[in-house]
Chain A
Amino acid sequence: MDNISLIGLASIITAGITIAIGSVGPALGEGRAVAQALAAIAQQPDESGTITRTLFVGLAMIESTAIYCFVISMILIFANPFWDFVIK
């Protein structure tokens, strides 16, 4: 197997695995956070503004890990430096 197909193979498979694993964890975490926030709002509807704001900030924090994985997989697919090197 030559270098081009090897690098292409590794990049595509790694990109798929990256986004798959990287989306499972934050999805579980975000689901848990939203469930807790809904329970808290149901108990204390008066505090829904504070809870919602904190929830959004927390969700952004959790989601950023998934975004890192997405950026990595995007780089692997669209802007892979090794691929560019081999192609050139």
Chain B
Amino acid sequence: MDVMRLKDISPDTVVFWQWGWVSLNATIVFTWAVMGLLVIITLLGTSNLTSETRFSRWQNLLEVLVNGMRDQIAEISPEKPRRYLPFVGTLFLFIALSNLLTLIPGFVPPTASLSTTAALAILVFVAVPVYGIVDQGLGGYLRHYIKPTPLMLPFHVMGELSRTLALAVRLFGNIMSGTKIAAILLVVMPLFFPVVMQALGLLTGLIQAYIFAVLAMVYIASATQARRQREEKYAGLAGPQEEPTQEPQ
């Protein structure tokens, strides 16, 4: 923890460079570092794509990542997982990489700042109505706010706001607590224990990235779900259909 003192609760307060009112703090620097690393890795991996049996290990890595994310998305929203892959996958990759890079000394994860996590949560907050409106039109999307009765309107609105806040504070709290606990233990017991906590922090970071992406996907799926239910109802009314192929195991 060279960059951040123990008292600093957020990397926003660490200012590297200032010119007038333009200041460059640690959050911005490390956010751009993570984004640049992602772009470089992706360019390396996709520079010579091939469908031969022998391919580069970067291509293998990217294929595993993209396939895994697509399968996870398809389990939540079975129709058109490719449509949600760019948004949700980018969220996952960014959060996961910035959490994993905590291992590097001197690196402060940008997700340990409430500004970054609030920005990501606001992205989800905006993306949910966008996907909902694209999927079922403006009226269809707005209708789900008054779905059981119009009495539920304030609860729907409050639910959207509070889950955005929860997304932001959950990620921030987890990652900030990881770095903070490592720093405190380094002061108290510097020999071996911080390493164990760092390893635990890796697990926590990956799980948090997974949870953020899955929650974003669940919210988007819930906004686009109403149409599917209506179609199922009409399909049931239209007459006897063939049995659904998916049987509960």
Residues of B within 8 A of A57 (CB): 211, 214-215, 218
Question: Which of the listed residues A46, A47, A60, A71 has the most CB atoms from chain B within 10 Å of its own CB?
Answer: A60
Contact B177 A74 (CB under 8 A): yes
Q: What are the residues of chain B within 8 A of A60 when measuring CB–CB? A: 170, 207-208, 211, 215
Q: B44 to chain A: closest CB distance in Å? A: 31
Q: How many A-B residue pairs have CB under 8 A?
A: 52
Residues of B within 8 A of A53 (CB): 72, 75, 214
**With known contacts A46-B249, A74-B176, A64–B9 Cβ distance under 8 A:** no
Q: Is A78 an interface residue (CB 8 A)?
A: yes
Interface of B is mostly: helix
Tell me if B173 and A71 are in contact (CB < 8 A).
yes
- A82 interface hit (Cβ, 8 Å): no
Q: A71, B169: Cβ atoms under 8 Å?
A: yes
CB neighbours (8 Å) of A74 from chain B are 9, 176-177, 180
Answer whether residue B174 sits at the interface, using C-beta atoms and an 8 A cutoff: yes
Q: How far is the CB of B9 from chain A (nearest CB, A)?
A: 5
The interface centre, meaning the residue of B7, B170, B214 with most chain A CB atoms within 10 A of its CB, is: B170
Q: Are A64 and B166 in contact (CB under 8 A)?
A: yes
Partner of A56 from the list B172, B176, B210 (CB cut-off 8 Å) is B210
Given contacts A50-B75, A78-B9, contact A71 B172 (CB under 8 A): yes
Q: Could you list 25 examples of A-B contacts with CB < 8 Å?
A: A44-B249, A47-B249, A49-B75, A53-B72, A56-B207, A56-B211, A56-B214, A57-B211, A57-B214, A60-B207, A60-B211, A61-B166, A64-B166, A64-B169, A64-B170, A67-B170, A67-B174, A70-B173, A70-B177, A75-B9, A78-B6, A78-B7, A78-B8, A78-B9, A79-B9
Beyond the given pairs A64-B169, A64-B170, 14 more chain A to chain B contacts, judged by CB atoms under 8 angstroms and listed by A's residue number, are A46-B249, A56-B214, A57-B218, A60-B208, A60-B215, A67-B169, A67-B173, A67-B174, A68-B173, A71-B173, A74-B176, A78-B6, A78-B8, A79-B9
Residues of B within 8 A of A (CB): 6-9, 72, 75, 166, 169-170, 172-174, 176-177, 180, 207-208, 210-211, 214-215, 218, 249
Question: Which A residues are within 8 Å of any B CB, using their own CB?
Answer: 44, 46-47, 49-50, 53, 56-57, 60-61, 63-64, 67-68, 70-71, 74-75, 78-79
